[in-house]
Chains A and B, each alone.
Chain A
Amino acid sequence: MKFPVQTSPHVEAQSSVAGVMTTVLWALVPGTVVAIWLLGWGVLFNVALAVGTAWLAEALMLWLRARPFHPALTDRSVLITGWILALCLPNLGPWWLPVVGSLFAVVVAKQLYGGIGYNLFNPAMVGYVVLLVSFPEAMTRWGAALDGGAAELSLTEAASWTFFGALPPGSGFDALSQATPLDQLRMVVTEGGSVANMGGSIWSMDSSWSLWLNLAFLAGGAWMLYRGAIRWHIPVAMVVGVLATSSLLWAIDPDQFADPAFHLLAGGVIFGALFVATDPVTASTTPRGRLLFGFGIGALAVLIRSFGNYPDGVAFAILLMNLAVPLIDYYTQPAVFGRKSGAASRGAGE
C-alpha cells in the first residue's frame, strides 16, 4: 500500500490563532459591559462602529492585495483591533471617530505592513494616536459617568448624539462633557497649582467608576492568563514600571507629581497592560525581553503623563517600545541548552 508523505510531527493541533483570538474577545466582554453601564450607550456605538469598520477594511484590503479571506479574516484578530480601539475612545465622540481610527489602524498599520504577524506597531494604538493628534477636540468628549452623566442617556438620545451631534429636542441635558481625572491633573499642573492641594478631588471624582472598570478588565486578564492567551510578564512588568517611576517622581516632589495609586488606576494603565501591550505580534518574545518591554512602557507612560503634552501616555509608550522590540529581542536571547553558565560545567570531565 502506498501513502502520501508529510513531515513530522503528526499530532492533533494543540491550539489555533482563532482560538487565541476568541479567548481575547471573551476577555474584553466584562470590561465592555461595565463601560456601557458606567459611560452609556456611546461605548456600544463605538465598539460596533470600530469593529464593523475594521472587519470591512480588512476584507477590502485582502481583496485589493489578492489574498485569500481564509484564514486571515477568520482568525478574528481584526475584531480585537477594532474593539480595543473603541474602548479607548470618548463615550460622547462623533460616529466618524471610531470609523476613521479603525480604517487607519487596519489599512495602514496592519495591512500595508503585510497583515497579521508583520506589523511593527500595535494597530489599535496607531489608530488611537492618529485620532488624538488629528482630532484633539473630538477626542476629549468624555461624558461624566453614572449619575447625571452620559449613562443616563437613553438609547435613542445616545444615538442621536453620536450620529448627529445633538440631543433630541426636550431631553433635558445640557453640558455633557467633562474633563477626565487626567485632564484635571494636567490643568492643575499647568496652571501652577499643587496636586496635593487638590486633596480628594481627584479621587472623589469618578474614582469609583475607574475602579469598577479596572476590576472588570482584570477579570478579563485573568481569563486570558488562565487560557494561556497571554503571559504574566508584560502586565506585571508594566505595572511595576508605572509604580516605580511614579513613586520616584512623587518622592521627589509630591506637589508636582501625582501619587502612584492614581497613576495605576487612572487612564489606560490596567487596560493597556492586559490587552494592548500583550499583543504578541508587536511585543517582545523572550522572557527577559518581555519584562524589559513591559517595564519600559510603564516608565514611559508615567514620564509622558508627567512631562509630555498629552494627558495620557500609555499609547505613546506602547508605540515607542514597539519600536525597541527587535533590539530587545536580540539582546535578551535565553541561554541555549548546555550553554548556561554553571549547568554544563558541573561534572564536566575531559
Chain B
Amino acid sequence: MPEARVAVSEGLYGFHGGLHIEDHKAPACERPVEDMPLVDEYVLPLHMHIGAPAIPVVEPGERVRRGQLLARPDDFVSAAIHAPTSGTIRAIEPRALPHPGGLSAPSIVLAADGEDREAEPFDPWPDFRDRSPVEIRSRLREAGIVGLGGAVFPTAAKLATANPGGVETLVLNGAECEPYISCDDRLMQEEPETILRGAQVILHAVDAARCLIGIEDNKPRAVAAMQAVIDRLAAEEDERRFEIKVVPTIYPAGGEKQLIRTLTGIEIPRGRHVTDYRMLCLNVGTTAQCWRAVVEGRALTERIVTVAGGGVTDPRNLRVRIGTPMADVIEAAGGYTEGVDRLLMGGPMMGFALHEDEVPVVKATNCLLALRPADRDPTPTPQPCIRCSRCAEACPADLLPQQIYWYSRAEQFERCQDYHLFDCIECGVCSAVCPSHIPLVQYFRHAKTEIWYAERERAKAEHARRRFEFHNERIERQKAEREAALAKKRAAIQAAQEKKAREQAGEGGGQPAASSGDGDDRKAAAGMSIEAARQRARARKAKAREQSPNTVSGGGQRSTGEGRDTGHSPGAEGDS
C-alpha cells in the first residue's frame, strides 16, 4: 500500500528542505488495531508528561479499579494518572523509565487482578456545548489528557494559553511523517468520527471558526474515512468547519511548525506560541481522547502503539494500556526476530534508543521500533565534513548545520548561537542526508547542553558574587560603626582623664596610671559595641515583622504555560 497516493491539496505553502524517505509503514498499517491482552503488572511513572510530576493519592495495598485516579496533577502544567486496570497497588517506588539516559523515577506499581473492573466514570457530557471552556479544561485535566503525538504536553494547559476567543483555526495533525509509525493512520481509518467529535469539543472550548486537518498523501484510506465523516456531518448537522488538507509526504511534514507553515504559510519563530498566531495544533489521537474524556467521561488509560521494524515478527498496531511493560507488547507482536539489536521508542528519525525493554509504555509511546543492523545504517564511521551543504538544503528550520557542526566541534558555542543553534528542532534530517555520516544532531544536543550548563553556572557565580559583595559590605559597615563608637568613647574618656589630670595637677598629685586606663578603654568600648549590636538586631526584627506579610505572598507564584516552546535557558534568547 505504500505506493498508493491521494492527490495533494491545492494552495499549500510547503516548507524548506525535508527528506523523502522510505516510509516502511506497510506491514503494521495493513492490519486493524488489536487489543493488547492484560498483563500481571503495570508501572506508571509519576512523570510521563511535560511539567510537574503527579502526586500519588493512593497507598500501597489499596485496591483500585480501571480509570480511578492514582496521582493528581501537582501544578498548572501537569497531568493526572489513572489506573489502567483493576487491581492492587503493589508499591510506589523508583522504576526504570523509557528514557534516553536509562533513568529510574518514582512510579506507581499496580498488580492487576485480571477482572478489569471499571471505576465510576466522570459525568458524561453529551451536551458539551452547554459547558464552559473552563469546565472542559478542568475535565481534560482531571482525565489526564496530554498531547499524544509524542510531546505529551497537558492539553488543558495548552488550551489555557489561548486567550478566550483568541483562536481562529484548530489544526489537527494527522500527518504522521515518521517512517514505520501508523497509529494515527489506523485511528483515522477506524475511528474518524471520534477524532472529529473530539475536535468539535475543542472547537467549542476555544471558540475557533475552522479546523484544518493535515494528512500526508501516503494515507489515502485515512483521508477517505475522514472525508466520509466530514461529508456526513456537513449533511446531517450543517457542520462546515472541517477541511482536510492533503500534504506531500516529506519528513518532517508532521512537525507542528512545519505543518502550520505548510497549511497557512505562517512561520512561528522560536520562542512564540502557536496561540500567538490565533491557532492551536493538536494530534488526531489527542482529540479522540478529548471526546472520550468530555463526552463519555473516561480517563486516559490506553493508547494505540505501533509495534514495527524488522526486529519484530508480526508488526501491528496495538491498543495498549498505559503502564504495560514493553517486553510484553513486543511479545504480543510475535516477539523479536533473529539479530535484533536496537529498540526505539518513537520513530527512527526522532525516537530514542532504549537500554532495555523492561520499561513501561507511557503516554508518549506512539511506537516501539525494533531494528536489526540491516534495517538501518550499521553505525558507519563518521568522516570529515566535505561542506557539501546537503544538510543545509534539507534543514526544515533553514539552518546551516555544517557551520553549527564546525563550531560545536571546536566548542565555540557562542558562534553556534550566531548560527541559531537553538532554532534546531532535532528532526534528524541533516544527520540522515550527510554523506560523511556525521551524527550532526548529537553534536547539536551536546552544544545546547553545554550552553545551558554554562548559563546555569554563570547564574550561580553571579549569585555567589552578589552574596560575597553584600557580605563584605556588611563587614565594612560594622567595622566603621564599631570604630566610630570607639572613637567617641575614646574622646569621652580622654576628656574625663584630662579633667581628672587637671584636678590632680591642681592637688599636686603623681603619675596617671596610663596602662590601666587603656584596659578600661577597651572594656568600655566592647560594652558599647555589644549594646549597639543589640539595638541593631531589635530594629531588624521589628522591620522584618512589618514586611513579612508581603514577602510571603510574593514568592509563591510559578510561571505557567512556558514549559514547551520556551523551555530553554535564558541564554537561548541571547542571539538574533
Chain A residues proximal to chain B, CB less than 8 Å: 1-17, 19-20, 70-72, 75, 77, 114-118, 228, 231, 280-281, 283, 285-286, 329, 333-340, 343-344, 346-350
Contacts and interface: CB of A to CB of B under 8 A. Distances in A.
B265 A343 contact: yes
Contacts of A4: 341-342, 353
Interface string B366-407: 000101000111011101111111101100111110110000
Given A8-B350, A338-B267, A350 B276 contact: yes
Pick the most buried of A10, A280, A339: most chain B CB atoms within 10 A of its CB: A10
B386 A1 contact: no
B553 to A, nearest CB: 29
Given A9-B348, A347-B278, A338 B386 contact: no
Contact of B353 (A10, A286, A335, A349): A10
A349 B272 CA distance: 11
Contacts of B353: 3-8, 10
Contacts of B369: 10
A343 B267 contact: yes
Nearest to B20: A14
Interface of B: 15-16, 19, 21-22, 100, 102, 166, 179, 257, 261, 264-270, 272, 276-278, 327, 336, 341-344, 348-357, 369, 371, 375-377, 379-381, 383-390, 392-393, 396-400, 402-403, 419-420, 423, 428, 431-433, 435-437, 439, 441-442, 445, 576
Given A7-B439, A281-B386, A349 B356 contact: no
B432 A14 contact: yes
B403 A285 contact: yes
22 contacts: A1-B356, A3-B355, A4-B341, A6-B342, A7-B442, A8-B353, A8-B441, A9-B348, A10-B371, A17-B435, A20-B388, A75-B383, A117-B383, A117-B386, A118-B384, A281-B386, A285-B402, A329-B400, A337-B15, A338-B257, A344-B267, A349-B276
A15 B348 contact: no
B97 to A, nearest CB: 14
Given A10-B344, A16-B437, 19 more contacts: A3-B357, A5-B100, A14-B432, A14-B433, A15-B433, A20-B386, A71-B383, A114-B384, A231-B393, A285-B389, A334-B400, A336-B398, A336-B399, A337-B267, A339-B576, A340-B267, A343-B267, A344-B268, A347-B264
Given A285-B403, A333-B419, A338-B268, A2 B386 contact: no
Q: Chain A binding site: helix, strand, loop or mixed by DSSP?
A: loop
B376 A12 contact: yes
Nearest to A10: B348
Given A8-B348, A20-B388, A349-B276, A3 B341 contact: yes
Task: Report, nearest first, the 10 A-B pairs whose CB atoms are least far apart.
Answer: A338-B269, A117-B384, A9-B428, A13-B377, A280-B388, A338-B267, A15-B435, A10-B348, A337-B397, A343-B267
Given A116-B386, A334-B400, A344-B268, A13 B441 contact: no
B277 A2 contact: no
A11 B376 contact: yes
A349 B165 CA distance: 13
Contacts of A340: 267, 398
